[in-house]
Structure 1
Amino acid sequence: MPHVPLPDTTAPCEPHDGETASGPSSPTCADIPTRRRELRRTLRRRRRALTPRQQRQAAKALCHRLRGLPELRRARRVALYLPNDGEIDPRPLIAWLERRGARVYLPVLAPLAHNRLWFVRYHAGTPMVSNRFGIREPDTRHGAHRARRLPAWALDLVLMPLVGFDDRAQRLGMGGGFYDRSFAFARQGGPRPRLIGLAHDCQRVPTLPVASWDVPLDAIASDARVLRP
């Protein structure tokens, strides 16, 4: 895979994705949205550059690591995602989870809640559609039945896609704030799922700036390593 240089990501502050910086205006803070966009573009190019064979090998290595994690072995209600745009693929876990008696859920863009997610039960017969981002998800009419979905707090484990991560297990998300908003309650105590971010190891960078609204993860797993804060 060709080397793709990374933009400078070191900065003392950063605004929420899609928002302007709060607090006193300064050139450094004002430049953060641009730096984040550049970093996302760079890391997405990295994962898109992987060949189909490299993608399959990475998915196999990732799922082998995940199956050894105590969080996954204990979980009975697990949310994961269907890969898009070169994301590392967690689907080989589905059959293993079902054999262990776990239920699998997929994120669905909530139709009446701004940038939030539903988590809808998934199995081979689930009717699927493409959402506005071109990502496959359970049909909204199917997921609208409460018996087919869980509130975010009721999940045991959530495996979420990342654009980037660093050696301190800090993450760069997709840019829409869907997971941050859906799991904001995790900062307040009370019932919460374990949160694990997934990425190709080529999406690792030395360090990432962190914003106060970023929901921290319990771990980050790639095809080469598992990192914990």
Structure 2
Amino acid sequence: MPEFCVDLKQLRKQLRQQRRGLNKFQQKQAEQASLNRLIRLAEFQHAQHIGIYLHAFGEIHTQKIIEYCFAHGKAVYLPLICNMNQRLQWVRISQHQFRTQRFAPHRLGMREPMRARGLHISHLDLVLMPLLACDTTGTRIGMGGGFYDKTLASAIQRPFRLGLAHEFQLYKSCLKREKWDQPLDALLTPQRILRFKR
């Protein structure tokens, strides 16, 4: 598989700017289109325990997905960074907690559940993951902290790994996959779903 030299620092900067440049109408459209595709995905339909992120940096918004999960009896879990090992623990939240926004700000800029005992990611059926870029082989480039890679390295079989992204975050050339990079099972954009072999 050919790999092309990509300046990851420059790519991250460019994609961050593109995400931040989306207006509210574009984000609402992307959110609704993503939900419409997601609810037709078999892995989502069968999943009862779903990990998801709270959007904070221009990612695909997740409010409608989370509300849909609550409305259809699916358990929703949010990531909490464990300071000891820089891995993610998954904390179940209630609909009331979500609607009242009872979350704590993290120094990196996102919101987290209040400190609680979380589950290992292998307890989830499906995890919806943010990203900056993904190529056509499932290589995911995140924000640079490595939290998802460290966490998924200890959960080879489960959960199903689904990236959520705007269409412009799909990188048509192959990104270099480092030995610690954890690939996706599929990528969902407002326009398509791509499945990968892992």
Task: Give the equivalent residue in structure 2 for 1:44.
Answer: 16
Tell whether 2:136 aligns with 1:136.
no
CA positional deviation for 1:110? 1.1
CA positional deviation for 1:186? 3.2
Match of 2:154 among 165, 179, 185: 185
CA positional deviation for 1:225? 0.9
Give me the identity figure in percent.
40
C-alpha contact (below 8 Å) 2:140/2:182 kept by paired residues:
no
CA positional deviation for 1:92? 0.6
| Alignment: residue pair count | 189
Matches of 2:142 and 2:182, distance apart in 1: 10
C-alpha contact (below 8 Å) 1:78/1:158 kept by paired residues:
yes
Task: Give structure 1 stretches of 5+ with no counterpart.
Answer: 1-8, 12-31
C-alpha contact (below 8 Å) 2:139/2:181 kept by paired residues:
no
CA positional deviation for 1:202? 1.5
Aligned CA-pair RMSD = 1.6
Alignment of 1:190-229 (within 5 A): 191-207=157-173, 208-229=175-196
CA positional deviation for 1:99? 2.4
Alignment of 1:1-229 (within 5 A): 10-11=4-5, 35-113=7-85, 115-126=86-97, 127-140=102-115, 143-144=116-117, 149-187=118-156, 191-207=157-173, 208-229=175-196
**TM-score when scaled to structure 2?**
0.89
Letter in 1 for 2:4: T
Deviations 1:118-144 (CA, angstroms, capped at 9, x unpaired): 11011234331101112111111xx13
Matches of 1:91 and 1:201, distance apart in 2: 19
SS for the counterpart of 1:59 is: helix
